[in-house]
């Protein structure tokens, strides 16, 4: 399960309680291991963040490009789950293209997902 920035579980508030449907506990996933946090979740927009630690850095001290990709993938998937779970559907990523604007060395990395499509089988 994802935790909100205040440390509480986000189920029932930001995310649907689908923990029983997941075969792997959040804490054991990549998302949980590196500390991804969903900060906001609505049907149209979601935000997430992660604190920059050595776990996220590559050898030059910058955030590893894969961390950005993983954060984007997690956020897009969970934002879609929040919309489709009640319909008996699941969500997984179909495509992930990442462009880098500037390197990050410290602080937090923040991500925003905005729904641009809502089809009958894809969101």
First to last CA, the chain: 22
Q: Is residue 110 part of a domain?
A: yes
pLDDT at 38: 94
Q: Is residue 50 part of a domain?
A: yes
11 strand-pairing partners: 15
CATH assignment at residue 100: 3.10.129.10
Q: Is residue 4 part of a domain?
A: no
Q: Is residue 65 part of a domain?
A: yes
| Low-confidence spans in the chain with pLDDT less than 50 | 1-13
pLDDT at 3: 46
Single pTM value for the model? 0.79
Helices (H), 6-122: 30-34, 65-84
pLDDT at 119: 74
Q: Would you please indicate which residues are annotated as catalytic (active-site) residues? A: 73
pLDDT at 118: 76
For residue 56, the SS3 value is helix
User: How does pLDDT run across 34-57, given as a tens digit for each residue?
Assistant: 999 999 999 899 999 999 999 999
Q: Is residue 13 part of a domain?
A: no
Owning domain of residue 63? 19-114
Q: 9 exposed, middle or buried (CB, 10 Å; 0-12, 13-18, 19+)?
A: middle
pLDDT at 94: 82
Q: How many domains does the chain have?
A: 1
pLDDT at 24: 82
Q: Is residue 42 part of a domain?
A: yes
């Amino acid at each position: 399960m994802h935790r909100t920035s205040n440390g509480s579980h986000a189920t029932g508030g930001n995310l649907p309680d689908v923990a029983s449907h997941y075969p792997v506990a959040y804490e054991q996933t990549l998302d949980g291991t590196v500390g991804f946090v969903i900060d906001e979740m609505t049907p149209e927009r979601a935000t997430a963040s992660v604190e920059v630690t050595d776990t996220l850095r590559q050898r030059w001290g910058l955030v590893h490009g894969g961390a950005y990709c993983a954060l984007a993938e997690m956020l897009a998937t969970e934002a879609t789950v929040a919309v489709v779970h009640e319909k008996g559907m699941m969500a997984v990523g179909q495509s992930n293209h990442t462009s880098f604007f500037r390197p990050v060395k410290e602080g937090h990395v923040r991500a925003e997902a905005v729904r641009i499509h809502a089809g009958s089988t894809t969101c």
